[in-house]
Amino acid sequence: MRRLPPLNALRIFEVAARVGSYAEAGAELGLTHGAVSRQIAALEGWLGQRLFVRTGRRMVATPAARVFAAEVSLSFDRVIAAAEACGRLDARRILRVSAPTTFAMRWLIPRLDRFHAMRAEVEVAVTTTTTLHDELRGGFDVAIRRGSADPGAWPQHRAVSFLGEADTLIVSPALFERRPLQGPDDIANHVLLSTETRPGDWTDWLDRAGLRLAADQRRRMFDHFFVTRQAIEDGFGLGIGPLPVLEADITAGRLLAPFPKITVPRQGYVALVPFDVDKTSSLTAFLEWLKAEGTS
């Protein structure tokens, strides 16, 4: 009979070695610092050697422990793949995706039928965040945020870039018909709609258009962009919106982009996968699908 190390301790050790902190490992796993410490001590007792040494106020994995943790992580991946291969073919698999509200409503959800057509056994459960800067807390397999995919930008996540973004001026067809915009200067005749969570949108676009905001320009502010977008569609004023997130609205005639050549490039979207999440074929397929949709 094989003499296996304590598997729960092994799981906790792999996380602690990856994040480099007992406290951060506890936060990720929902455990106290003391519980993490006890499990690491149990594994050290089984192995007969130290895995972590104290450096200042932190417990740091030894070189041997880092090599061991990498092998453990690969072994966990193999176990997950084997379990998935042996599972019932008709079993539903839930993929939890966290995304900003506007992005989920206007870009992700309208496209999900195409993913389900490829992977009918996968149920994508979407939860939304009100801003792009909400903390990355647990409870998801993939989090979609706007930002860089550069190494180190998301220390506890693998980042996959899949969609670029640029802002442009948007208006409802009804308002455009009542008060046409022949050139950028004509915005002086309109109310400018802004969003607290997207500061600087109007300033950046005006710079691109070579304009300055008049002191008596009428403005209205909303707390979140999905509210602003609805106010724009209802004809309450002009706004600045992201493409291609709003491309479907423009194609459907709900919104117009009267000056499509005046755009402000923004950081694109990345899919963030926690390093400790189960690396299933469903997750891999979803990431590949996001990249394909982002370039289509």
The CA distance from 122 to 48, in Å, is 43
Degrees, nearest 5: CA angle 193-260-220: 5
* Closest C-alpha to 239, from 223, 220, 252, 254: 220
Distances (CA, A) of 155 to 149, 269, 288: 11, 17, 22
Is 260 found in the same domain as 171? yes
Residues 158 and 273 placed together within one structural domain of the fold: yes
SS3 55: strand
Whether 2 maps to a domain, the answer reads no
Q: Residues 6 or more apart from 9 whose CB is under 8 A from it? A: 39, 40, 42, 43, 46
Q: Are residues 148 and 279 in the same domain?
A: yes
274 and 223 in a common domain: no
Please indicate, yes or no, whether residues 259 and 170 belong to a single structural domain of this protein.
yes
Closest CA to 292 of 195, 149, 160: 160
Both 172 and 258 in one domain: the answer is yes
Residues 17, 28 within the same domain:
yes
The per-residue pLDDT string of the chain (296 residues; one tens digit each, 9 = 90 and over) reads 568 899 999 999 998 998 888 888 887 787 888 899 999 999 999 999 999 998 887 888 999 999 999 999 888 888 877 877 776 655 568 899 999 999 999 999 999 999 999 998 899 999 988 755 555 666 789 999 999 998 788 887 889 999 999 999 999 999 999 999 999 999 999 999 999 988 899 999 999 999 998 888 999 999 999 999 999 999 999 999 999 999 999 999 999 999 999 999 999 999 999 877 777 888 999 999 999 999 88
- Claim to verify: residue 187 and residue 256 sit in the same structural domain: yes
Claim to verify: residue 229 and residue 276 sit in the same structural domain:
no
Residues 78 and 121 in one domain: no
- Please tell me whether residues 273 and 226 are part of one structural domain: no
Indicate whether 176 and 259 sit together in one domain: yes
In a domain, 65, yes or no: yes
CB 272 within 8 A of CB 136: yes
Report the predicted TM-score, pTM, of the whole model to 2 decimal places.
0.68
Structure tokens at 85: 């291969």
Return the H-helix or E-strand segment holding 230: helix 225-233
Tell me if 1 is assigned to some domain.
no
What is the total count of domains within the chain?
Answer: 3
Range of the domain at 143: 93-164+268-295
